[in-house]
Structure formats: structure tokens, C-alpha cells
Amino acid sequence: MSETLANLLQETREFPPPAELAAAANVTADAYAEAADDRLGFWAEQARRLDWAKPWDQVLDWSNPPFAKWFVGGELNVAYNCLDRHVAAGRGDKVAIHWEGEPGDTRTLTYSDLHKLTCQAANALTGLGVTAGDRVAIYLPMIPEAAAAMLACARIGATHSVVFGGFSADALSNRIQDASAKVVITADGGYRRGKPSALKPTVDEAVAVSPSIEHVLVVRRTGQEVAWTDKDHWWHETVETASTEHTAAAFDAEHPLFILYTSGTTARPKGILHTTGGYLTQASYTHHAVFDLKPESDVYWCTADIGWVTGHSYIVYGPLSNGATQVMYEGTPDTPHRGRFWEIVDKYKVSILYTAPTLIRTMMKWGDDIPQGYDLSSLRVLGSVGEPINPEAWMWYREHVGRNNAPIVDTWWQTETGAIMISPLPGVTATKPGSAMSPLPGISADVVDDQGESVPNGGGGYLVLREPWPSMLRTIWGDDERFIDTYWSRFAGMYFAGDGAKKDADGHVWLLGRVDDVMLVSGHNISTTEVESALVSHPSVAEAAVVGATDPTTGQAIVAFTIPRGNVDTSGAAGEQLITELRNHVARTLGPIAKPRQIMLVPELPKTRSGKIMRRLLRDVAENRSLGDVTTLQDSSVMELISSGLQSGK
Ligand code: 6R9
């Protein structure tokens, strides 16, 4: 990684914050100075955003690294902080969730409504024998009950493990068994792509091989037929008939709040464990700082699913602890039409939008005219998360969604970090398209070389975190050894994130993708992200994925899979010509060493269910191997489409 190409990404555009936003921003440049002066004092100040039943004695106990304890001795209740205190302060009638079902049905839940539902769910779970420290699996579509179920667990000190509703019975039962969950909360189904999609049969299959499960709580969403056993209870008969009164007990700051499994590329998923006080502090602070949330006037919308960490921290815990009004959407972005997202922004006057590069690139492919058909003038801050955002996708987002005005915050973080770590501050940072810019106040991120030495500006290497942070993972559930091996063994005393990164001439951070994906071409390290960004900067390209394939002369050679934009002719000679042009375009942009050996035009790319490109499978195609494990693939027909396109000589 030390030898990243010196001329990659000559991005010089820079966008200062709009003056009006900067003048009224929640967080100013002073925050960096304060945190640099006294990091623990800074985090203690942020922790005071929350209501504590018992104050802490010590901000951080790092006497046994890498096992951190934050806010030692403090006690609080997460659900109380997300709900009760807003109701007690007279904000009970404020809308917490504008929910939009995929078929167009809607629900509005105020903070009082969500508080009552959460209290009922807490009472129902207690009635089913769930007590503090027990694990509860949640396998639900994007409906308000999902947030209530998570908060109900937090309220009674049960540790939730949310499993994305698209995962198979195998994936669900593995996660249930790893955590020995006692209860699963699910639904008959949810709406996806215009039709009901069943969940209960998958749960039935998983529960049949998961002896720890004593009860299954089932929300009725679609009205589909379901099989029934004596472990099953309808939500509307159990939760909605329970008392709406519930007093939340306080839990230790280090009480386990949730486990969330990351699939990774191989082997057993890792159960990432997050705890109470530090997690909520950083989720709450970052949501306030990075999105400049003004709870009285903003309408916030994060398009993630609660099955991912983004949904945990930036649909449930961050926004609700801050008293935000938010939109929650059940379905897919093209149901019933490709303008659905913009229609929702227009309808609810969304002012802060948080989405993923994969969606932005999809919208680019669908065409500029679609967002133009809606009034998006309410938008004032735009966020991106999940993958590096290519400069051209960033520019498209700014131009076509943000009307060349709303700042874009490209937020780098992971399931393991619990909350945003590297990001612009919208009222402070002059942003550069494609860069996550700087570590947030109180965060010490760095880029180091193979030996763990900090690289100078202009250098590239591995992204690390040098100091513990409040919302850091505490361990891998049931496997401290693996926690140490995976994150704390590559470089002494530092957290290894697994991402490549570089510092530009000003010291700003550019993420280059997972280090496993970096290519080694004739002795040069080349990042997939940079070649992809060069391809996407060509006007005929909507999306690109790049892999290194074994090559007899260069060690690895660059193979690119490219999706043309909607209106581009790719038939016969026109296709051949486009390929030649794209190879030359990359060579011109990045230098001849980065010229792809081969470019294939494809209709789709393989993505994980959270929208990240699965380069591993493309490597299999590029090297003519049979495909590896495809179970985490969002759409299994994609690989057939790609392979058959190749065989027909494209
Ligand atoms: C929040 C989330 C984590 C991995 C991470 C990195 C990639 C996330 C990014 C980004 C570049 C960003 N990633 N945000 N890469 N720029 N703004 O996505 O968590 O699902 O655990 O994935 O996603 O590779 O290491 P998770």
C-alpha cells in the first residue's frame, strides 16, 4: 500500500459550506480545538447531552486494552433517553416517524405514540419471560414496530440482535444460535417490489433448528397466511393489549445494548457487541453534529434498513435521542416508479437526506430528468455512507439533488465503530468530491504504512484508529480472541479498520476500499476505488467495479465491469469503440499503469444486500473460476446475466 500511484485522483474542486448554514451551525470549528485539548473532557461534555440516572466516576477505563469501558459507574436507560424525556419535556405531540409503506399506506407516530407502543412491547416481552441480559432476535420489515421492538429491548435491558429481513433461514438460525436468543420478533411479511414478501416461513424454518427460542412474536403487516405453533403470539394480541405504563430502569453504561452481525467475506459472521452509554453518546452527538439537525424544523430521512448499523445508529438511536422528526420508508426505490424517493422528499419536505453511493449511482443511471420532476428545494444537508463515493456520483448528488447548494457529508464508519468517525462538518468543512475529509472532533484516525508509521501528506496506506472512542465495539460476541486477532493485531496499539486510504496534500482522507480488494499491478498498488472513479467520470458510464485478475506478466491485471448510462448505444461496433475509449480514458486520467487489460459492459453488478459491490465474485468471473459463496448476494440472477453477457462475446 505504500506505493499508491502519486498522480491518482487529481481532484481540485472544493465547496465551502453555504454561509447561512455555517452561521447557524450546531457545531463550529472550535469543537476540533476543544477535543484536541482534552479528548476525554470533550466526550464527557457530549455524554451530558443524555439524561443519566447516575453520573459516571471515570470517563474511560483503558487499563486492559483493547477492552474499553466508557463512563464507568454511570447508569442510564436508552429508551428513556429516546422517548420519555421528550414526552416529559412537552414534546409528546411532535412527530417522531412519518412512515410510508411501499403500497402507499401511511402512519404518523408522535413521540407519545412511539413511547406508548414501546412501553407495551416492553411489558409484553417481560410477560414472555424476557429479562435484562437476555438476547432477542428481531427480523422485521421497515415498519414502526421495528423501532419499537429495538427500544423495548433497550428499555428492559435485553440485548437485541437485528437480522436483515432479506437473509435466509440459515443465516437467521446461525445468528439466533450464536447469541442463544430467547425470542424472535417478526412479521407475516413486508412489501418489496410491489408485492408482499413473506418472512414468517423463514422464521419457522430457523426456529425449528434453534432450541433456544421460546417465543415468536408476529406483527401482522401483509395479512398473508401463516403457519402457527404454540410458540407463536400475534403482536396485536400480545403487545397492543399490554399496559402503556412502564417505568424504565437504569442500566450500567457498559450493559450490552445490541449485537449486530457483519457478514464479512468468509467464514462465520462476527457478532459485533455494542454497549449502552458510550454508544448512545456518540450516536447522538454525531447525528447532531454531522447532519446539523435542528429538531424543531428539520425533517430527516435515512434510507437504510434497520437491519444494518446505519439503521441502528441513524434511524433509531441517533435521531430519536435527539428528538428528530423523521421519515421511514418500507420499500424499494423504484416501486411503483423510479421517482419514488424524490416524491417522498417532496411530500414530507425532507431537509436532511442520508443515503448510499449505490443508490446515487443507480439514480444517475436512471437519468437526470427523474429528480427534476419533483420539488427538492427543502433539502439542506445530504449524507452518503457505505462505500467510497466516486467524485462524479458526488457531483451528480450535489447538482441534481442538492441544487448546487446543500453540503454533502461523506461519512466513513463501520458496524464496529458504531457511529460516524470521519466526515465533513456541514457548517465548517470545505468539501472535496469523493473525500470523507477529516476525523470528527474527539476521533484519532490516521493512515499508516506497512510498519505502522504515519504516512506523510500525499501518502497512502492503511486506515487505523489510534485512540479508543465511545461507540467502539467492545468485543465479538463470545469470542474475545477473534476480536483481538481481527482488529488489534495488525498494528500494535491501533485499531485496524481493513480499509485502504490516502492523505492528500492538505492531509484530508480519501478512502480507497477494503485492503483485500487492492490490486498489485507490475509492483504498483492500485486501488479499485480510484480506477472505478476514473471510469465513472466518463459521461457514458453509470457504475463500475474493478478487480485484479491473475496475469502472467504483470502479476495482476485490471479487469473492469462497467454499466453504461441509460441512453448509451453499446451494440456491436459502438460497444467495441466505447471499450477502447474507456481504456484510454482511464490511462489518460490515472496514468498508463492503471489502463485496464479488459473492460466488459454489463447490465448489473453483484451487490451485497446492503448495497456494497461484491468484487470477490467478479474476480471469480475474471479468472474463469466457478463462483464462490453467493448467499449474501442481493439478486442471484445478476451473476448469470454477467456471465452470459461475457459468453456472447461482449
Ligand atoms: C456504516 C457501514 C463498513 C465498511 C467500511 C468501508 C465501507 C462505509 C464509507 C465506506 C468509503 C465511506 N464504507 N462508509 N467507504 N467511504 N463513507 O457501512 O458499515 O456495513 O459495517 O461497512 O464500508 O469499507 O469498512 P458496514
- The three grid cell numbers given for residue 259, joined into one nine-digit string: 449485537
pLDDT tens for residues 302-349? 999 999 999 999 999 999 999 999 999 999 999 999 999 999 999 999
Q: What is the spatial distance between Cα 286 and Cα 310, in angstroms, rounded to a whole number?
A: 12
Q: Which helix (H) or strand (E) holds 138?
A: strand 135-139
Buried b / exposed e along 354-364 (16+ C-beta atoms within 10 A): bbbbbbbbbbb
The DSSP code for 453 is: P
CA torsion angle 176 261 250 471 (round to 10):
170
Q: How big is the CA angle at 579 (ends 575 and 582), to the nearest 5 degrees?
A: 135
Place of cell 469470542: 479
| Annotation: binding site | 192-195, 310, 386-388, 410-415, 499, 514, 522, 536, 538, 541
Nearest CA to ligand 1 atom 18: 386
Residue 96 · residue 297 · CB < 8 Å: no
* pLDDT band with cut points at 50, 70 and 90 for residue 1: very low
| Annotation: binding site for ATP | 386-388, 410-415, 499, 514
Amino acid present at 160 = H
Q: What is the spatial distance between Cα 121 and Cα 479, in angstroms, rounded to a whole number?
A: 31
- pLDDT of 608: 84
pLDDT of 647 higher than 50? no
Q: Say if ligand 1 is within 6 A of residue 190 CB.
A: no
Q: What is the spatial distance between Cα 66 and Cα 483, in angstroms, rounded to a whole number?
A: 9
Residue 84 · residue 248 · CB < 8 Å: yes
- pLDDT of 412: 98
- pLDDT of 610: 83
- Select the more confidently predicted residue: 608 or 46: 46
Q: How far is the CA of 18 from the centre of ligand 1 (A)?
A: 27
Nearest CA to ligand 1 atom 4: 414
Residue 602 · residue 564 · CB < 8 Å: no
Q: Say if ligand 1 is within 6 A of residue 413 CB.
A: yes
pLDDT of 264 higher than 60? no
Q: What is the spatial distance between Cα 127 and Cα 124, in angstroms, rounded to a whole number?
A: 5
CB neighbourhood size of 545 (10 A): 23
Task: Give the residue-averaged pLDDT of 108-134.
Answer: 98
In the chain, CATH 3.40.50.980 sits at 111-249
The residues, any chain, with a CB within 8 Å of residue 416's CB and separated by 6 or more, are 262, 272, 472, 473, 487, 497
Q: Which helix (H) or strand (E) holds 137?
A: strand 135-139
Name residue 352's beta-bridge partners. Answer: 300, 381
| Annotation: binding site for CoA | 192-195, 310, 522
Per mean pLDDT, which range of 83-92, 284-293, 453-462, 614-623 is the poorest?
Answer: 614-623
Task: Give the residue-averaged pLDDT of 610-630.
Answer: 84
Atom index in ligand 1 nearest the CA of residue 262 equals: 21
Q: Say if ligand 1 is within 6 A of residue 615 CB.
A: no
CA-closest candidate to residue 167, choices 300, 320, 308: 308
pLDDT tens for residues 502-532? 999 999 999 999 998 889 999 888 999 999 9
Q: What is the spatial distance between Cα 421 and Cα 278, in angstroms, rounded to a whole number?
A: 14
Q: Which helix (H) or strand (E) holds 536?
A: helix 528-536
Task: Give the residue-averaged pLDDT of 288-301.
Answer: 98
**DSSP-derived secondary structure for 343-374:** HHHHHHT--EEEE-HHHHHHHHHH-THHHHTS
In the chain, CATH 3.30.300.30 sits at 522-646
* pLDDT band with cut points at 50, 70 and 90 for residue 268: confident
Q: Say if ligand 1 is within 6 A of residue 412 CB.
A: yes
* pLDDT band with cut points at 50, 70 and 90 for residue 631: low
Coil, helix or strand at residue 507: coil
SS3 sequence of 591-642: CHHHCCCEEEECCCCCEECCCCECHHHHHHHHCCCCCCCCCCECCCHHHHHH
Place of cell 449485537: 259
Nearest CA to ligand 1 atom 17: 412
Q: What is the spatial distance between Cα 128 and Cα 452, in angstroms, rounded to a whole number?
A: 51
Q: What is the spatial distance between Cα 483 and Cα 502, in angstroms, rounded to a whole number?
A: 26
Atom index in ligand 1 nearest the CA of residue 310 equals: 1
Nearest CA to ligand 1 atom 11: 388
Superfamily of domain 522-646: ANL, C-terminal domain (3.30.300.30)
**CATH code that applies to domain 111-249:** 3.40.50.980
Helix ranges (DSSP H) in 212-368: 235-238, 277-290, 309-311, 318-321, 340-348, 357-366
* pLDDT band with cut points at 50, 70 and 90 for residue 194: very high
- pLDDT of 7: 47
ipTM of the complex, rounded to two decimals = 0.99
- Select the more confidently predicted residue: 586 or 625: 586
- pLDDT of 645: 56
- pLDDT of 123: 98
- The three grid cell numbers given for residue 338, joined into one nine-digit string: 423510479
pLDDT of 649 higher than 70? no
Q: What is the spatial distance between Cα 141 and Cα 196, in angstroms, rounded to a whole number?
A: 11
The residues, any chain, with a CB within 8 Å of residue 402's CB and separated by 6 or more, are 379, 382, 408
Mean pLDDT, the chain, rounded, equals 94
pLDDT tens for residues 368-415? 999 999 999 999 999 999 999 999 999 999 999 999 999 999 999 999
| 196 upstream amide cis, omega within 30 of 0 | no
pLDDT of 241 higher than 50? yes
Atom index in ligand 1 nearest the CA of residue 308 equals: 20
Q: Which helix (H) or strand (E) holds 511?
A: strand 509-514
Q: Say if ligand 1 is within 6 A of residue 410 CB.
A: yes
- pLDDT of 5: 53
Nearest CA to ligand 1 atom 3: 414
Nearest CA to ligand 1 atom 12: 412
Rg (the chain; Cα; Å) = 24
Place of cell 459491490: 613
Buried b / exposed e along 294-305 (16+ C-beta atoms within 10 A): beeebbbbbbbb
Atom index in ligand 1 nearest the CA of residue 389 equals: 16
Atom index in ligand 1 nearest the CA of residue 384 equals: 17
Task: Give the residue-averaged pLDDT of 577-597.
Answer: 95
Q: How far is the CA of 488 from the centre of ligand 1 (A)?
A: 19
